């Protein structure tokens, strides 16, 4: 028997999330797929949720699920945190206070421009259709896709993008040919590129310097996963171009620990309680000492 039929409601914590206290999300999904996880004795399936009264086991041994996960799940439901297919309708009839700061996770599709200028075709404000005025935290190129935070909180961009905070950004990049082992080592250690460092009264100042060392994993001969803690303009494209590679696709899968979690291209949702804590911690770091 499987637990899925009884555990498809919005209540409780997803079984893979409950396991993520001990395992990565990928490992958790694999454990569920291998039928090694059970809820109240029934085999768990992807998408199942558990409540506080349930018993979760892995290979027959009980797994203790932190109570805060259930608290977060209840808070998400109460806030109406999940958007109904990203069309501006909050699940459960949730409302956002007029002056409440909002944090929106948006799956930016290729073609959308990260500008709040609504005269620009395919601008992110018009494309997202969020019912409140928000602006993007950083940017993704028009030809790139992936997770993009939108917010009404003016403190967040500086907190999220300052290099010294070392908040991770994860990208999956496809190139036109296989990446050699030597070039892979070079990408990891740093590549000298020229980027726009800042703009002063409309004038751009160029910076020519090596990129910081970063984590690079090979997903396929022509596909790489980068984890960056800096964010220079068009950094990944320029790093790869410097080594003779043409980027055919670039997707940001994670930003400061926040992922899309199955969000379809063009859809949005409000940040969960866990994600809001990540954002708040980043903002708190920016506060001056009293």
Closest C-alpha among 236, 218, 219, 214 to residue 168: 214
Nearest-angstrom CA–CA distance, 211 and 196: 13
**Residue-wise DSSP of 115-137:** ---TTSTTBHHHHH--SS--EES
Which position among 11, 59, 117, 141 bears the catalytic label?
Answer: 141
Q: What is the per-residue pLDDT for 149?
A: 95
pLDDT digits (tens, 9 = 90+) for 173-210: 999 999 999 999 999 999 999 987 655 455 667 889 99
Report which of 233, 256, 253 is spatially closest to residue 108, judged by C-alpha positions: 253
Is 64 assigned a catalytic role?
A: no
Mind listing the pLDDT tens digit for each residue in 126-138? Answer: 999 888 889 999 8
- How many whole angstroms separate alpha carbon 5 and alpha carbon 200? 59
pTM of the model: 0.67
Nearest CA among 142, 138, 239 for reference residue 189: 239
Give the pLDDT band (50/70/90) at residue 83: very low
The 10 Å CB-count burial string (b at 16+, else e) for 56-94 is bebeeeebebeeebbebbeebbebbbbbeebeeebbeeb
- pLDDT (mean) for 234-262: 95
SS3 assignment, position 196: strand
**DSSP H or E segment with residue 284:** helix 273-286
CA–CA distance from 25 to each of 28, 49, 176 (Å)?
5, 15, 29
Whether the CB-CB separation of 215 and 170 falls below 8 Å is answered with no
Query: What is the rounded distance in angstroms from the CA atom of residue 21 to the CA atom of residue 13?
Result: 12
Q: What is the mean pLDDT of the chain?
A: 83
Of 24-28, 199-203, 233-237, the range with the highest mean pLDDT is 233-237
Torsion angle defined by CA atoms of residues 14, 18, 21 and 23, in that order, rounded to the nearest 10 degrees: -80
Pair of tokens at residue 144: 């790139």
| Distance, C-alpha 7 to centroid of its chain | 26
Confidence check: pLDDT of 290 > 70: no
Bridge partners of residue 258, in order along the sequence: 255
Q: What's phi and psi for 157, nearest 5 deg?
A: -55, -45
Q: Which of 50-54, 125-129, 172-176, 277-281 has the lowest mean pLDDT?
A: 50-54
């Amino acid at each position: 028997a499987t637990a899925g039929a009884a555990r498809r409601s919005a209540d409780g914590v997803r079984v893979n999330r409950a396991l993520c206290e001990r395992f990565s999300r990928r490992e958790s999904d694999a454990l569920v797929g291998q039928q090694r996880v059970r809820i109240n004795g029934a085999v768990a399936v992807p998408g199942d949720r558990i409540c506080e009264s349930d018993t979760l086991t892995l290979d027959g041994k009980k797994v203790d699920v932190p109570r805060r996960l259930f608290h977060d799940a209840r808070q998400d439901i109460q806030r109406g945190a999940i958007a109904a297919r990203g069309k501006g309708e909050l699940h459960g009839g949730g409302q956002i206070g007029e002056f409440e700061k909002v944090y929106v996770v948006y799956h930016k599709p290729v073609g959308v421009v990260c500008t709040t200028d609504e005269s620009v075709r395919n601008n992110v404000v018009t494309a997202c259709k969020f019912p409140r005025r928000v602006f993007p935290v950083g940017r993704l190129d028009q030809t790139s896709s992936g997770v993009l935070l939108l917010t009404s909180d003016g403190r967040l961009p500086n907190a999220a993008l300052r290099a010294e905070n070392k908040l991770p950004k994860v990208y999956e990049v496809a190139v036109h040919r296989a990446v050699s082992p030597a070039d892979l080592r070079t990408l990891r250690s740093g590549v000298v590129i020229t980027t726009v460092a800042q703009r002063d009264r409309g004038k751009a100042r160029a910076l020519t310097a090596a990129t910081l060392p970063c984590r690079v994993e090979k997903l396929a001969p022509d596909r790489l996963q980068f984890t960056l803690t800096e964010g220079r303009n068009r950094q990944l494209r320029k790093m790869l171009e410097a080594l003779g590679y043409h980027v055919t696709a670039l997707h940001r899968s994670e930003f400061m620990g926040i992922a899309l979690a199955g969000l379809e291209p063009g859809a949005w949702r409000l940040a969960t309680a866990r994600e809001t804590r990540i954002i708040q911690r980043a903002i708190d770091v920016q506060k001056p000492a009293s």
